[in-house]
């Protein structure tokens, strides 16, 4: 099932059902629309993007090695480096950031900084697994939704005022294009 929600950054597409979310994207996802089945997570995301909530209902889990967001906690162990990275990213508190290198250091291998970047790039659950909180040592880094969306999310979490958030949105109509 697919649900959509209009955000300050544009349309957000959510794939899953009443039990789990398997994909979130800033670009369309194919499938039948059923917002009712996904209302549990849509409301959480809308509340977060409105500045009312700092957490989401559910948990990061892995089913057959794939990251999913589930309503109920599933027991799992991080089997691969990508899963370990996603778990670390999920532990970054609201309004905080970590660099790609800091995450690699926590994994006891500073050479994994580029791998951390690739895991962020391929994260199927942006916002829920907050890859926008992962930044470069000397730059903001990339974001699958585009740099303008990453700036918006970081500004939202930093406590920027409503007016400041609106100004970051109206900088350029093309600023939220996903291919930046």
User: What is the set of active-site residues?
Assistant: 131
Closest CA to 17 of 54, 52, 63: 63
**C-alpha count within 13 angstroms, C-beta hemisphere, residue 110:** 1
- Which residues neighbour 67 within 8 Å (Cβ) at sequence distance 6 or greater? 60, 61, 83, 86, 123, 124, 125, 129
Look up residue 7 and give its DSSP letter. E
Which H, E and C letters describe 83-137, residue by residue?
Answer: HHHHHHHHCCCCCCCEEHHHHHHHCCCHHHHHHHHHHHHCCCCCCCCCHHHEECC
Maximal C-alpha separation, the chain: 44
- Rounded distance between C-alpha atoms, residue 95 and residue 31, angstroms: 33
């Amino acid at each position: 099932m697919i649900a959509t929600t209009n955000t300050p950054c544009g349309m957000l597409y959510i794939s899953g059902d009443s039990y789990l979310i398997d994909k979130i994207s800033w670009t369309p996802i194919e499938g039948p629309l059923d917002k009712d089945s996904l209302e549990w997570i849509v409301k959480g995301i809308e509340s977060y993007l409105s500045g009312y909530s700092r957490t989401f209902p559910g948990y990061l889990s892995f089913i057959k090695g794939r990251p999913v967001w589930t309503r109920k906690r599933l027991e799992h162990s991080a089997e691969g480096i990508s899963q370990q990275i996603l778990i670390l990213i999920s532990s970054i508190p609201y309004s905080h950031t970590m660099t790609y290198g800091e995450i690699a250091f926590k994994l006891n291998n500073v050479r994994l900084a580029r791998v951390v970047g690739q895991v962020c790039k391929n994260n199927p659950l942006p916002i829920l697994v907050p890859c926008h909180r992962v930044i470069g040592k000397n730059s903001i880094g990339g974001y699958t939704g585009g740099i303008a969306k990453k700036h918006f999310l970081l500004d939202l979490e930093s406590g920027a005022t409503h007016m400041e958030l609106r100004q970051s949105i109206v900088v350029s109509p093309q600023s939220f294009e996903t291919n930046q």
